[in-house]
């Protein structure tokens, strides 16, 4: 899954706790989500077919769109412009960008619909980074494909591969993770093995020299999980402490410093950690009390979603807006969180519709306020039709009053108006084809209109009061 400006993913290994997301995956500006029935939704940018819904149509989507013909999916992964899915029959499917052989299909031709990587069988976990991917087999071996300019495939050379090849000298693996140009694996004995680019010390061997085959990180042991950022690596030890190494210019290592480290250093002020995730130049951790902590780069509030802060953080701080989380995933400039109650939330940049909330906003407005994605796994809802064909708000912006109108008579419909901090301002019951929304005591600014029908959110719209 992506990582340069920041990203983050949880890949839940089927052997034991790993570090990548099982149900959410974010690429450069697209997102994938696995529903409980094994179907996949995708949204966001689609210029290389990374959404997987058409062989010819590259139109982006600003709402969750169901991938047809792809079922029984247990895990997804997202590269910069491409996507992967693992099915419950242990097969792997790919689609999107393929310049370096990222799809593992034996060529460099992009695909707009999912296609099986037939050379892979018995797979239990997958991960994808910018332009290379890893797959873990049920025999504990690791397979890799895509770009190999820094030796990130672990094949002993720097030749790209368009067909998965086995990583050399590596067995007994229980978890995998991809960085921008490096890779990592956790063995069943609690040791971590790394290979590929080492420009910032991300291999943790006290050098800055790349490694074309896996080496053990000998300065640390007793590891429970491993996760890679773009140019750093993070591990969770069995004693619930967090350690990291590599680039640190944004405070990425969490040790109250901005100096790179080629050996493991401990993240400050956190203990009792049960999960940790790294991507790009940032990290998230979940404590045993359920609290969420984060540190590293924060250009668009994608990791401090309750603060709208735009500065970096060189030690972990608690994120109060994120509670009750099952999974969290960060893209380049956007984030998603899956809560324990099954709801899906997003925040950050939405230029290409990557938040999946049914509408756009552009570079002049980034939100650090998590918003629920309406009907992410509904089999019938089409926000596209509701937004574009049924709902009209005019004038917008307005100074005194606006009219929200529908093409058809509405019943059992409620309109909720909230401010950018999620505070409920108004609730209006709809009867008929339109309602008048008066400014009354609402101050000038941006507000959100949530349209709820039969207890389901069917549309989200932004309004501006001048």
Per-domain residue ranges of the chain:
24-372, 383-465
pLDDT at 73: 96
- CATH fold, domain 24-372, is Methylamine Dehydrogenase; Chain H (2.130.10)
Give the neighbor-by-neighbor strand order of the sheet with 232-237: 223-228, 232-237, 242-246, 261-266
Dihedral through CA 242, CA 248, CA 250, CA 252, nearest 10?
Answer: -20
pLDDT at 15: 30
- For 24, the token pair is 């959410």
Distance CA 174, CA 139 (A): 9
- The CB density around residue 125, as the number of other CB atoms within 10 Å, is 27
pLDDT at 386: 39
pLDDT at 380: 35
Query: How far is the first Cα of the chain from the last one, in angstroms, to the nearest whole number?
Result: 40
pLDDT at 420: 58
pLDDT at 338: 86
Q: What is the DSSP letter of 8?
A: B
Distance CA 84, CA 435 (A): 44
Q: What is the DSSP letter of 454?
A: T
Distance CA 150, CA 449 (A): 48
pTM value surpassing 0.85: no
Helices (H) and strands (E) in the chain — how many of each?
A: 1, 33
Q: How far is CA 34 from CA 46, 73, 74, 346, in A?
A: 18, 7, 7, 15
- For 20, the token pair is 């990548």
Residue pLDDT tens, the chain, 466 long: 433 333 222 222 223 333 444 689 999 899 999 988 899 999 999 999 999 999 999 999 888 888 888 999 999 999 999 999 999 999 999 999 999 999 999 999 999 999 999 999 999 999 998 999 999 999 999 999 999 999 999 999 999 999 999 999 999 999 999 999 999 999 999 999 999 999 999 999 999 999 999 999 999 999 999 999 999 999 999 999 999 999 999 999 999 999 999 999 999 989 999 999 888 888 888 898 888 898 998 765 555 555 455 578 899 988 887 788 888 887 777 888 888 888 888 888 888 888 887 766 544 445 677 888 876 776 533 333 334 346 778 787 788 888 888 877 877 888 888 875 567 888 988 888 888 888 887 888 778 788 887 777 777 777 878 7
Q: By C-alpha distance, which of 185, 196, 193 is closest to 149?
A: 196
- CATH fold, domain 383-465, is Immunoglobulin-like (2.60.40)
Q: Residue 385, SS3?
A: helix
């Amino acid at each position: 899954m992506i990582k340069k400006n920041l990203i983050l993913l949880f890949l839940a290994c089927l052997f034991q706790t790993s570090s990548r997301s099982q149900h959410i995956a974010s690429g450069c500006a697209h997102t994938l989500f696995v529903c409980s029935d094994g179907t996949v939704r995708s949204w966001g940018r689609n210029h290389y077919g990374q959404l997987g819904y058409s062989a010819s149509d590259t139109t982006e989507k600003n709402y969750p769109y169901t991938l047809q013909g792809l079922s029984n999916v247990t895990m997804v992964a997202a590269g910069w412009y491409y996507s992967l899915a693992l099915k419950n029959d242990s097969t792997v499917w790919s689609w999107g960008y393929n310049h370096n052989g990222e799809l593992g299909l034996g060529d460099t031709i992009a695909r707009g619909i999912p296609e099986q990587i037939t050379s892979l069988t018995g797979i239990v976990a997958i991960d994808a980074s910018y332009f290379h991917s890893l797959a873990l087999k049920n025999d504990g071996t690791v397979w890799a494909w895509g770009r190999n300019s820094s030796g990130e495939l672990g094949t002993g050379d720097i030749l790209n591969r368009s067909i998965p090849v086995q990583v050399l000298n590596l067995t007994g693996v229980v978890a995998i993770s991809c960085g921008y140009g490096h890779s990592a694996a956790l063995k069943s004995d609690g040791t971590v093995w790394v290979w590929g680019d080492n420009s910032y010390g991300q291999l943790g061997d006290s050098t800055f020299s790349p490694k074309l085959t896996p080496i053990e990180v000998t300065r640390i042991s007793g590891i429970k999980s491993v996760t890679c950022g773009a140019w750093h690596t993070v591990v969770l030890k069995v004693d619930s402490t967090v350690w990291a190494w590599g680039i640190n210019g944004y405070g990425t290592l969490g040790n109250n410093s901005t100096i790179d480290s080629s050996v493991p250093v401990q993240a400050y002020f956190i203990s009792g950690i049960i999960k940790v995730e790294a991507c790009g130049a940032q990290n998230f951790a979940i404590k045993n009390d359920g609290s969420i902590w984060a540190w590293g780069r924060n250009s668009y509030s994608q990791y401090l979603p309750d603060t709208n802060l735009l500065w970096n953080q060189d030690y972990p701080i608690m994120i109060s807006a994120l509670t009750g989380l099952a999974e969290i995933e960060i893209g380049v400039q956007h984030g998603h969180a899956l809560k324990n109650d099954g709801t899906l939330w997003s925040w950050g940049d939405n230029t290409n519709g990557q938040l999946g909330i049914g509408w756009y906003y552009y570079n002049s407005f980034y939100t650090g306020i998590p918003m629920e994605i309406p009907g992410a796994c509904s089999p019938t809802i089409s926000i596209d039709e509701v937004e574009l064909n049924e709902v009209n708000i005019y004038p917008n912006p307005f100074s005194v009053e606006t009219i929200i109108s529908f093409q058809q008579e509405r019943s059992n419909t409620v309109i909720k108006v909230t401010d950018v901090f999620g505070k409920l301002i108004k609730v209006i019951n709809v009867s008929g084809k339109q309602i008048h929304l008066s400014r009354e005591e609402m101050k000038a600014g941006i507000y959100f209109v949530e349209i709820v029908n039969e207890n389901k959110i069917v549309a989200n719209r932004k309004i501006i009061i001048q």
